[in-house]
Structure 1
Amino acid sequence: MRAARSEAERRAGVLAAWLATTWRRRHRLVAGPAAEVAKGISTAALVEIERRRLLPWGAVLFGLGILLFFGANARPSLPVGAVAGALALSAALAWARIRHRSLAGGIVLAGLAFLAAGFAAAAHRQASVAAPVLVSPASGTVAGFVESLEDRERGVRIVLRIAEHDLPVRGDGPLRVRATLRAAPDAPILAPGDWIVARVRLLPPPEAVRPGGYDFAKEAYFRGIGAVGGLYGHPEIAEAPVAPDLALRLAARLDAARNALTERIAGIVGGQPGAVAAALVTGKRGLIAEETNAVLRAAGVYHIVSISGLHMVLAAGTVFFGLRAVLAAFPVLALGWPIKKIAAAAAILAGAIYCVFSGSAVATERALIMTTIMFGAILVDRPALSMRNLALAALIVLAREPEALVGPSFQMSFSAVAGLIAGAEWQATRTRAPAPPPGRIGRALGAVRDNLMGIVVTTLIATAATGPFAAYHFQLANPYGLLGNVLALPVVTILVMPAAVIGMALLPLGLDALAWRAMGAGVGQVIAFSEAVAALPGSQVVVRAFDVGALGLLVGGLLVVTLSVSRLRLLALPLVAAGLALATAPARPDLYVDRDGRGVALRAADGRLVVLGDPGDFVLEQWLKSDGDPRLPTDPSLAAGVACDPLGCVAVLPGIGAIALVREPGAFAEDCARAAVVVARLTAPRGCEAGIVLDRAMLETTGAATLRFEADVPRLETVRRRPETRPWLARE
């Protein structure tokens, strides 16, 4: 360890000497303010390198390679092997340059290696998860194994691996679908691993309802889901013609155990506290009512429901500190054994068990990786919390699941941790720990004060770090999130998660009921706090959707301010300022068009949206949120100024003209002659004279669309970007 550290220090010294020599040779070439700027940048870069902050930027470049892959406008044709070859070559050249003290060239080549590695990881992942996808809506009778099952308020949601079917599917192999079976008194009780024969109505996984919106089709592709829909009638449980493979048997047994524990916890605790408590242990959230979810979101504490870093740290931390305290109580063990490392190893094992039993969701796996690295650092006598460890965790997560980078879970979890680590580093350089207050009562009050202050500060940092992602993905802001977290997190930390750990430990003995009741009491208090915060006026604010350019500037500023330790942090100011300027005044579409042509939303004279047709409550809710409109889909003002008859609907877009939604073929003649824009779920006749025609033939190619008129010039944006071709596009 000392030899490795000495080698690292030697290389840092070599690099410092090289930079100093380079500056002395070249500073005479510039004069005046430019020289001062160049000198400042060189000095700051030296500080960054001496503090070993290059690896975090390597992780950033790895992520940039992933974004380049997903941002391609067509399916990348570059073979993964070629990219991997470029990666190996860049890495070899980088190592050679560094070994020969050509450090600047080595750093550049290493950066190229990270970039190529990210691109290669995304390309390999897309190819490795390829699975059959339904290409059009279909009904039929299917047979297959139930992989997993989750009880919900009004039925059961299952993942079914279909082995026998006659559905229009693209690709080879079994089709995995996510389907819902509505509750019925005489419905058979399904269990994971059952072979069933059922009638189904299936749809391709739905794409985004607007350009830049959430794309379930992409997420489903990487989860191996090729269709969604429902089972109707009663499925028949039959004997399987073939035995399930080992992976399916293990997954079915684990899911059955999770369902049994979910039912036990929910039954012991009861009500919504029981549903939330069960979700925190098993990851099964189907029993949580939407009203409870809404209250937790409004209070800014919905993150406690998704098993992620907070839960993993609390669960593993409870094991770590508890076991260490027990071992320390015995002087023989405390003096003769490395009890801190033993406790760290036990915490890693506990975290792994928690991850597997809670369903190994993407967020939970990421939390396990981060927690393992943190406690693993203790095993090798390294600092547990550092930006390098976070970068290493990010690299591992993205190498396994590159698609996670474009999702809110990864972005929010890693940005929050990066902000907290950066804040801790900044505080460590400026403050010293105050002397503890005298007396037991003074120390107790000081501990309470410090904990509350810690919650306030960490909540502020985490909110600032995750705010851009929350606004971009969900168009929501929680002004009282700080208050909600200050009230809820102490209960979660002190009571809820420790009780969960104790309950799991006592479960094999059948003595777990008291622990679940204690956990339920804590969860009930969290819900009560959330209801009080959600009842405050303005507890949730809808913000307008902004484009990825504004998000990129904000993320760039966040990366600079968290990863830098020198005055380079000042570069974050113009980035954040530009991002905020774009995010606070985004260009709003004048027209939203549903992907099936069943509904349209257009901007009326008062600047608010009105709706033609019936796009569906979910689609309309997403349109309203993206427009910064807090109205509900049932608001009667959404129909103001709209004229409808059995043939279709018409409304006027100020400055442009009539917008017509055609329902029946008989409306085309009149609407094509007078409307500026015609939208139809049917195929428009040839010769339609409307300025813009968005009919079935076009929407099947483009998906949902928006129109914005700039100086009367229409700008069309679509979910599918021609000539984009991706395997998750059902109609490719």
Structure 2
Amino acid sequence: MSDTDTRQASHDAERGSFMLPGSDAATAVAVFAPNVPRSLMSTQVRRGISRLSAHLSPRTIKASIASAIEEERAYGHGFVLIPVLLIFGVLTWLSLPFDVGIVKLALLLCIFSMAAVVCIGKFARLRAPLIAAALFTAGMLLIAVDTVRTDTVVLDAPVTTNVRGVVFSREQDDKGQWRYGVDVQQTTEPRLRRQPTKVTLVARGREDPLPIGATIEGRARLSPPSGPALPGLNDFAFDSYFKGIGAVGFFYGAPKGGEALATGETKASSPSSLATRIASMREAVGERIRAAIGGDTGALAAALVTAEERAISRETVEVLRQSGLAHVLAISGLNMALAAGTFLIGARTVLSMIPGLAHRVAIKKLAASGALLMVCTYILISGGAVSALRAWIMISIMLMAVFFDRMSISLRNVALAAIIIVAITPSAVAGPGFQMSFAATLALVAGYARWRERRETAMPAAERQRKGRGLVTGVIAGVVITSLIGGLATSVYSIAYFHRLPAYGLLANVLTMPVISIVIMPFGLFAMLLMPFGLEHYPLLAMAWGLDRMLDIARFVVTLDGEIVTGRIGHLGFVLIAAGGVLICVLRSWLALSGAVLIFAGLVSLPLERDHLPDVMISEDGRLIGLVANDAIATNRVRPSDFVFSQWQRALAVENHLKPAMLPLPEAGDPYPATEPAGKSAPPLDQEKVTAIRADLSSAIEASAAGVFVCREKQWCAARNAYGWTIVALENPRLFPALCDQADLVVTAARVDSAKCPTARARIVNAQTLRRTGAIEVRAQPDAGQTAAGMQFRTSFTALSRPWERHRAYDWRTGSFAEGQPAL
């Protein structure tokens, strides 16, 4: 190429001549490099394209993936993936609409395991996928075995009966009422055909409580554990099933008690008696703490030691949740690490002050032995929650690593703790406690490992040996980074399970961490060590001072009004984000980018999965009905159940509540009948009263505002929504034949015969329906060729084939489980 051609190309580039018809790639690139000869430029472009093609070729990609896998193996992350696959198997089995038998899973596990063993030579590449399939199947087998082993008998319907049994636990709430855990021995009047083995019953009086191990007897109202407040929310019957609790309820009056049963030497050595002794010791510790401090502070201090949270007032619990400090209530890694660390440092300091001892004995290992004994005692009196069990396993491994001079913090520790918990209690995998605890721990350990590697490679040795410089800033930075990582790692779980996020949780944790680390946990540990000698009073007072300061900070953060109510999120988005977070933490090579891809895909899917709000909600017992419109929920109750209604508000991200307009019964010429006791039939209403009742209902609806309930006291509540639906909730079931054809949707908490309705206009939801469907959502769905919107029902339960759901299909008259689902 001549100089003239080069100058012409430069001139064309300055004039903006980029690509002309017939020009080649070199001419196009010339606009950015006008002084480069065309032949040289063309060569460079070809080389670049060739290199890009080489990088994107299947052979290169395959080699890169193989290299990354080898890098992961070098880090030992194959072991870390074992609990991930086990957990995936457990969650898959739990999410299926049917049971997969133990025999089938055992055969699959044998097939995958044997196939992995015989894969050698050119088939060796199949070994890793087969091992993964075997671990996945092993997770399914573990939960299947645990489900059969548990085999809890869950009460099928509410009933009033006489209960006699043995107290295996007791706990006092913030109102002074005692909740007993009872091993049921007998039920009478009536005798239950499917008698639960364990129940929890509340004694509402102020009588002296019965001790653990004593017999207890009284007339009680028993109910099955509640299901989800809305479809897709937490099913409390699932948790109760795997805890062995078959019913919940309360005593009518004060229960009668007898002598403690565990008095003989033989019984004292049995596992049940040992558990009773531990429960008694745990309760005694909590009572001494509450007696020394008192009030909410005392209840909070006891919860940090024994995990008994019922004595804390709801206001305090809500303040801690809104400020992002609710994790302090759970005995987890923070509590146990601070307790173990305080003991380890304190014991090592004391031992080092003994002249000549450090030269003869490894005092670090001696102090670690004492700390190991301390955390084992801590786990016994803490109740053994999943978060506490995980923390205990990890802390124990870390302390035992001191004996062998090995590194104590690693992903292997987290993986080993997860494997042990999945093997012992696989059902815990489905709970937020397990998931949030391990997500935070996994993120913190992975972040610490990467920070340590970067520090060792980037910082000179002389710089690492300097001490004392930047100590305060380092501690502050560590607290901030730890809180930030833990908050980010658990945020998606907080949204998925609790539908809210504390916007200023990072601020609250940074402000409270010095108080927790320096005052609360150390003095709590001193109090426990001195309690056998009766010297715990003053350490507990110091602990109480720290707790009061923590509550002050929590209340200050709450005043910033920073809680974010997110509402429900889609299951697919949650799974993708959670899985992506795990991969980012576990993988160390470029394969970790796959986790970022999953998180991005999950974030994209969240708005796509979000449904529009339901128009009508019906609670599981049929007593609470809600209409959603204009950023408010209108209900048929002036004071709805906080347990259910608060879940509605958070799940739907709707805060405002519209109360019903209450109308008293007319005095003169009252057409309304009295409510008959349950189980007794009443004569039908005469036509004159039916006409008067219908007229009263119609006039009340016409006079009320749309989207708001109007209620005739103890008889009915009615409302008309934006779609023109008339919704009637019947308080008095005797009105069903008179009003069932006056509405589009009729809801009653009683058992009624739908055949008595003269017309088929209304969709009827009664006690029989709700027992099998659980809570219901109704959405408007326009029907083809019709002007009015149709009703689309979404129920909490469909198949009722899983063990924790099957009690809903039980028919006590025939003693069998009914098939199918009631029509809506």
One fold, TM greater than 0.5?
yes
Check if 1:642 corresponds to 2:642: no
Q: Secondary structure at the match of 1:198?
A: strand
Larger Rg: 2
| Aligned twin of 2:229 | 209
Give the drift of 1:118. Answer: 0.6
Query: More deviation in 686-695 or 375-384?
Result: 686-695
| Aligned twin of 1:596 | 621
* Cα distance in 2 for residues equivalent to 1:460 and 1:357: 31
**CA, structure 1 residues 367+715, in 2 after alignment: closer, same or farther (shift >3 Å)?**
farther
| Aligned twin of 2:179 | 157
Q: Secondary structure at the match of 2:620?
A: coil
Tell me the alpha carbon deviations over residues 296-331 of structure 1, each in whole angstroms, 9 at most, x when there is no partner.
112111111121221111112222222233344457
Check if 1:563 corresponds to 2:586: yes
* Cα distance in 1 for residues equivalent to 2:513 and 2:442: 20
Q: Which has the higher contact order (CA 8 A, sep 6+)?
A: 1
Q: Is the 8 A contact 1:134 1:168 kept in 2?
A: no
**CA, structure 1 residues 70+526, in 2 after alignment: closer, same or farther (shift >3 Å)?**
same
Query: More deviation in 677-686 or 631-640?
Result: 631-640
**CA, structure 1 residues 62+242, in 2 after alignment: closer, same or farther (shift >3 Å)?**
closer
* Cα distance in 2 for residues equivalent to 1:411 and 1:253: 31
Q: Secondary structure at the match of 2:588?
A: coil
**CA, structure 1 residues 59+241, in 2 after alignment: closer, same or farther (shift >3 Å)?**
closer
| Aligned twin of 2:807 | 730
Q: Is the 8 A contact 2:303 2:329 kept in 1?
A: yes
| Aligned twin of 1:117 | 138
* Cα distance in 1 for residues equivalent to 2:705 and 2:423: 46
* Cα distance in 2 for residues equivalent to 1:355 and 1:395: 18
**CA, structure 1 residues 521+260, in 2 after alignment: closer, same or farther (shift >3 Å)?**
same
Q: Is the 8 A contact 2:165 2:216 kept in 1?
A: yes
Q: Is the 8 A contact 1:455 1:486 kept in 2?
A: yes
Q: Is the 8 A contact 1:147 1:252 kept in 2?
A: yes
Q: Is the 8 A contact 1:308 1:363 kept in 2?
A: yes
**CA, structure 1 residues 241+108, in 2 after alignment: closer, same or farther (shift >3 Å)?**
closer
* Cα distance in 1 for residues equivalent to 2:536 and 2:512: 24
| Aligned twin of 1:697 | 768
Q: Secondary structure at the match of 2:455?
A: coil
Tell me the alpha carbon deviations over residues 613-652 of structure 1, each in whole angstroms, 9 at most, x when there is no partner.
5763321221111001233687999995333336533333
1:588-627 equivalences under 5 Å are 588-604=613-629, 606-612=630-636, 616-627=641-652
* Cα distance in 1 for residues equivalent to 2:67 and 2:183: 59
**CA, structure 1 residues 609+639, in 2 after alignment: closer, same or farther (shift >3 Å)?**
farther
Q: Is the 8 A contact 2:495 2:566 kept in 1?
A: yes
Within the candidate set 342, 346, 349, 2:370 is matched to 346
| Aligned twin of 1:298 | 322
| Aligned twin of 1:719 | 796
Q: Secondary structure at the match of 1:306?
A: coil
* Cα distance in 2 for residues equivalent to 1:482 and 1:725: 40
| Aligned twin of 1:658 | 726
Check if 1:575 corresponds to 2:598: yes
* Cα distance in 1 for residues equivalent to 2:518 and 2:422: 32
Check if 1:135 corresponds to 2:159: no
* Normalised TM-score (structure 1): 0.87
* Normalised TM-score (structure 2): 0.78
Within the candidate set 476, 483, 493, 1:459 is matched to 483
Q: Is the 8 A contact 2:86 2:139 kept in 1?
A: yes
* Cα distance in 1 for residues equivalent to 2:658 and 2:527: 43
Q: Is the 8 A contact 1:309 1:364 kept in 2?
A: yes
Q: Is the 8 A contact 2:619 2:775 kept in 1?
A: yes
Q: Secondary structure at the match of 2:621?
A: coil
Tell me the alpha carbon deviations over residues 232-272 of structure 1, each in whole angstroms, 9 at most, x when there is no partner.
22222224789784334333333333222222222222332
* Cα distance in 2 for residues equivalent to 1:150 and 1:594: 28
Identity of aligned residues (%): 32
| Aligned twin of 1:404 | 428
Give the drift of 1:435. Answer: 8.8
Give the drift of 1:139. Answer: 1.8
Check if 1:487 corresponds to 2:555: no
* Cα distance in 1 for residues equivalent to 2:313 and 2:130: 52
**CA, structure 1 residues 211+168, in 2 after alignment: closer, same or farther (shift >3 Å)?**
farther
Tell me the alpha carbon deviations over residues 385-419 of structure 1, each in whole angstroms, 9 at most, x when there is no partner.
11122111111111111111111100100000111
**CA, structure 1 residues 651+45, in 2 after alignment: closer, same or farther (shift >3 Å)?**
farther
Q: Secondary structure at the match of 1:260?
A: helix
1:133-532 equivalences under 5 Å are 133-154=154-175, 155-166=177-188, 169=192, 171=194, 175-184=197-206, 187-239=207-259, 245=267, 246-330=270-354, 332-432=356-456, 446-532=470-556
**CA, structure 1 residues 284+723, in 2 after alignment: closer, same or farther (shift >3 Å)?**
closer
Q: Secondary structure at the match of 1:650?
A: strand
* Cα distance in 1 for residues equivalent to 2:80 and 2:553: 38
Q: Secondary structure at the match of 1:165?
A: strand
* Cα distance in 2 for residues equivalent to 1:295 and 1:639: 36
Give 1:594's aligned amino acid: S
Query: More deviation in 244-253 or 458-467?
Result: 244-253
Q: Which runs of 5+ in 2 are unaligned?
A: 1-49, 662-703, 784-789, 810-824
Give the drift of 1:464. Answer: 0.6
Tell me the alpha carbon deviations over residues 102-150 of structure 1, each in whole angstroms, 9 at most, x when there is no partner.
5422212211221111111101111122233322212222222111111
Within the candidate set 739, 754, 774, 1:685 is matched to 754
* Cα distance in 2 for residues equivalent to 1:482 and 1:413: 17
* Cα distance in 2 for residues equivalent to 1:208 and 1:413: 23
Q: Secondary structure at the match of 2:254?
A: strand
Q: Which runs of 5+ in 1 are unaligned?
A: 1-26
Q: Is the 8 A contact 2:635 2:659 kept in 1?
A: no
* Cα distance in 2 for residues equivalent to 1:162 and 1:638: 51
Q: Is the 8 A contact 1:656 1:676 kept in 2?
A: no
**CA, structure 1 residues 240+112, in 2 after alignment: closer, same or farther (shift >3 Å)?**
same
**CA, structure 1 residues 666+152, in 2 after alignment: closer, same or farther (shift >3 Å)?**
closer
* Cα distance in 1 for residues equivalent to 2:706 and 2:460: 65
Query: More deviation in 546-555 or 427-436?
Result: 427-436
